[in-house]
Amino acid sequence: MAEKKKQLDRRWIFLTIFLGVALPLILKIGLPISVSENVRNVYELVENTPPDSKVILSFDYDPASKPELHPMARAVVKQCFQKNLKIIFTALWPMGVQMASDIVDQLKDEFPNLKYGENYVNLGYKAGGMVTIQAMGRNLRAIFPQDMNGTSIDELPIMNGVNNFETIAFVISFSAGDPGIKQWVQVAHDTYKLKTSGGVTGVSAPAILPYVNEQKQLTGLIAGLKGAAEYEKLIRTLGTATSGMDAQSLAHLIIIVFILTANINFWIAKKKEKKK
């Protein structure tokens, strides 16, 4: 029996996972979500920043991580707009530029009064990672003389008085790897003392967690789709993360059942061997 189970065609596993994800998306169970401390800290950072403060949101991801990072980025951008914070979008990944534009486009209907150049600006992508952040801290105007459309930043009111990180309230990086949140911590926070926070993919979350510490290298952290769903709950918006959580939960449960089944089989087989 154990031998037979071991030979289980993995396509059955694939099919189970597929259905485990697809069915909850269609049926919508609406399971509850609990909010963790790290996510709440990010929320409070944004919430407690005075209106009209300028903040940097860095989009350091591409379409490959969109399902995880896009929902949290949208939730944070929305909260920033609600709080009347002025957003400077940047990107350490080339495709991050489109990701930021996409989110602003999605939110335009909700915030019809937003003006480009006054409430937000997209400075676009700059190659260099750590070196770029370092240069921004020294002289932001030199490293970003123009926005992504080629308009000089001197013509954009939001950029008035922004010469480096001194007039910036905080930076939040949505990060799928290198360069990303690690570089923001190492340079923006640890060198320039800029409050830094962010959202990361589930894969990189454990490696970034040590920065959430007494030294406040990171103020909170949003990790993966679960973190995004928690954030959506905090800003009272039902987005794609919340609607994905049912599927996420069921798929986790299926994987756990697979692990347990495999272990039970292993122990049964081992016991039988001992008896022999």
Residue of the chain from 179, 180, 224, 239 that contacts another protein (CB under 8 A): 224
Residue of the chain from 40, 41, 62, 83 that contacts another protein (CB under 8 A): 62
> How near is the Cβ of 51 to another protein at its closest, in Å?
31
63 binds another protein (CB under 8 A): yes
| Segment near another protein (CB under 8 A); pick from 52-60, 76-84, 165-173, 253-261 | 253-261
Sign of CA pseudo-dihedral 263, 265, 267, 273? negative
Would you say 235 and 75 are in contact if contact means Cβ atoms under 8 Å apart? yes
2 binds another protein (CB under 8 A): no
Residue of the chain from 2, 17, 114, 235 that contacts another protein (CB under 8 A): 17
Residue of the chain from 22, 84, 108, 163 that contacts another protein (CB under 8 A): 22
Interface of this chain with another protein, residues 112 to 131, rule: CB under 8 A:
124-125, 127, 130-131
Pick 18 or 155: Cβ nearer another protein = 18
Interface of this chain with another protein, residues 165 to 204, rule: CB under 8 A:
185-187, 190-191, 201-203
Pick 67 or 117: Cβ nearer another protein = 67
